Amino acid sequence: MITHYFKTVQDTELKELPSSRAGVWTHVVAPTEAELTELVRDYGLDEAILADAQDFYEVPRMERSGGVHYFFTRYNFDEKDRITDTAPLLLVMGESFVLTMALREVPQFSKLIEQPNQLVTTQKTKLFITLLDLVTSSFERELTRLRRIVHKDRVKLRHIGPKEIQRLVNYENELNSIIAAVVPTNSWLGQVTNGNHIQMFTEDVEMMEDLLIANRQLIDSSRQLLLTIQNVRNASEAIMTSNLNATIKTLTLLTILLTIPTIVASLYGMNVPLPLQDNIFSFWLLLLVIVGAVSGALYFFKRNEWL
């Protein structure tokens, strides 16, 4: 689906145009082959690069072809049947247009479209930075949510079980996806800021530098939270291993203690002549032997700090 948005500084509402024109923001979602052909024809885009944008696992990077700049990044989304929690997003900067392309709806853009107070499509660079800032802000919100959950798990460390560990592993994967998306994106953002890839005014440079700082902070915070998760998971696994060893140790000692009366009872259960078999106090004598042997074993275990 191809949608053309247009709004100038004087406009109060975001307009949807039936076709492209100068100063338009063209948003493309899950394009068909016919729509890709139309984009190549109308905007003079590189067909091979557009084909790369159809790959769900496309990595962030920057390319230039025919005077048009192509910026690949990734945005976060929530879909549990995917291995990764980010999806590809292509931003194209042409001479008189900005084009975005995604394989599915980008929820980060919905609020901007519904409430386009700060949106001006004729200011290409500012629009470009605004779209990227929305992606960064969504990552920051997700990071805040993960941080809150991880700190709750850290407080109840001794009560973490297999389900909680599996959840922590999922959080690790999500954080790795965020880092894998933001790090290369921030790399080409630095190239754009320091180079002559797109025209930027003083205000645009300041906005781009703020975006770079936000991305760096996002990367650092993600890595710190990732380290926290790994520490929590390692500590919980160590506690679970220690508890398991203690349980096995207790069961082993109980088995040894129960083996003593079992051996004595087995010996005197044999159908052969035995000492004290005619003594009327034989049961109590055997019971005394068993109690003494068990007590001796308990003393031995206690002295060696096995109990």
φ/ψ (deg, to 5) at 15 = -100, 145
Alpha-carbon torsion (23, 29, 35, 41), positive or negative: positive
Token output for 245:
């060893």
The domain 242-303 having CATH identifier 3.30.750: the answer here is no
CATH architecture of the domain with range 2-241: 2-Layer Sandwich (3.30)
Residues forming CATH 3.30.460.20 domain(s) in the chain: 2-241
Evaluate if residue 223 carries a pLDDT over 80: yes
Rounded-to-10 torsion of CA 100, 174, 218, 107: 30
Strand order in the sheet with 86-93: 15-17, 2-6, 24-29, 97-102, 86-93, 68-76, 61-65
Q: Which residue has the higher pLDDT, 290 or 158?
A: 290
Q: How far is CA 107 from CA 77, 104, 171, 186, 270, in A?
A: 8, 9, 21, 21, 80
Mean pLDDT of the chain: 81
* Measured distance between the N- and C-terminal CA atoms of the chain, rounded to whole angstroms: 71
262/281 Cα distance (integer angstroms): 20
**152-156, 188-192, 200-204, range with the lowest pLDDT:** 152-156
Q: In the prediction, which pLDDT does 72 show?
A: 92
Of the ranges 57-71, 89-103, 106-120, 267-281, which one carries the lowest mean pLDDT score? Answer: 267-281
Segment 137-160, tens digit of pLDDT: 888 888 888 888 888 777 666 666
51's CB contacts (< 8 A; 6+ apart) are 36
pTM of the full structure: 0.74
pLDDT at 24: 82
Q: 156 versus 189: which is more confidently predicted?
A: 189
Mean per-residue pLDDT, 15-43 = 84
Q: Write out pLDDT tens, residues 82-117.
A: 445 788 899 988 888 889 898 888 888 887 777 777
Per-residue confidence (pLDDT) for residue 159, from 0 to 100: 66
Q: What local confidence, expressed as pLDDT, does residue 171 receive? A: 82
Backbone angles phi, psi at 161, to 5 degrees: -115, -170
Three-state SS for 26? strand
**Cβ neighbours, 10 Å, residue 43:** 19
Percent pLDDT > 70 in the chain is 92
Instruction: Specify which of 85-94, 198-207, 255-264, 267-276 reaches the highest per-range mean pLDDT.
Output: 85-94
Q: Using CA atoms, how far apart are residues 70 and 64, in angstroms rounded to an integer? A: 6
Task: Among 87-96, 225-234, 298-307, name the most confident range.
Answer: 87-96
Nearest Cα residue to 200 out of 79, 46, 93: 93
**Distance between CA atoms of residues 271 and 280, nearest Å:** 18
Domain with CATH 1.20.58 in the chain: 242-303
